[in-house]
Amino acid sequence: MTAGGDDTLTTPFLTRFSFFRPPVVASKMPRTFAVYIMASRRNGTLYIGVTNNLSLRAHQHRAGAAGGFTAKYGVTRLVWYESYDDVNEAIAREKQLKKWERRWKLELIESFNPAWADLYETLNQ
């Protein structure tokens, strides 16, 4: 400790800045993946994607931070999703849905979310 009682020179970096997120060991944390559909409005433009953090990804779409297609067409409403433990299964499902006819996608959304509510609001409850 220094003469003035300030121990910033002797305190290890991680202790001084412990309010930062602690390191995470990836192999110990179970990972889930989500296939999701975003929409501009009911029966509007659709976007299908896959992610390992649905809440963050939906927020990025809503804020326009994702850029590209979703920002250009105002695709900001999370209207459907499914969760998977295996990333390969999630990617396969995403590819399958992207090949579907639009009518089938709309029926899938209607069966899961008849009101086309923005499900982002319910993700972290």
Q: What is the pLDDT of residue 28?
A: 57
Give the chain's largest Cα–Cα span.
74
- CATH 3.40.50 describes domain 33-122: no
Yes or no: say if 76 and 116 are a contact pair by the CB < 8 Å rule. no
Q: Where are the domains of the chain?
A: 33-122
Place 29 in a pLDDT band, splitting at 50, 70 and 90.
low
> Which residues, in sequence order, are CB contacts of 122 under 8 Å at separation 6+?
none
Size (the chain), residues: 125
> Which residue type, as a one-letter code, is found at position 27?
S
pLDDT of residue 13: 47
- Looking at residue 20, its pLDDT comes to 47
By three-state DSSP, how is residue 92 classified? Answer: helix
On average, the pLDDT of the chain sits at: 83
In 8-120, the DSSP E strands lie at 33-39, 46-51, 77-84
Could you read off the pLDDT of 108-119 as tens digits, one per residue?
999 999 999 999
pTM metric for this prediction:
0.76
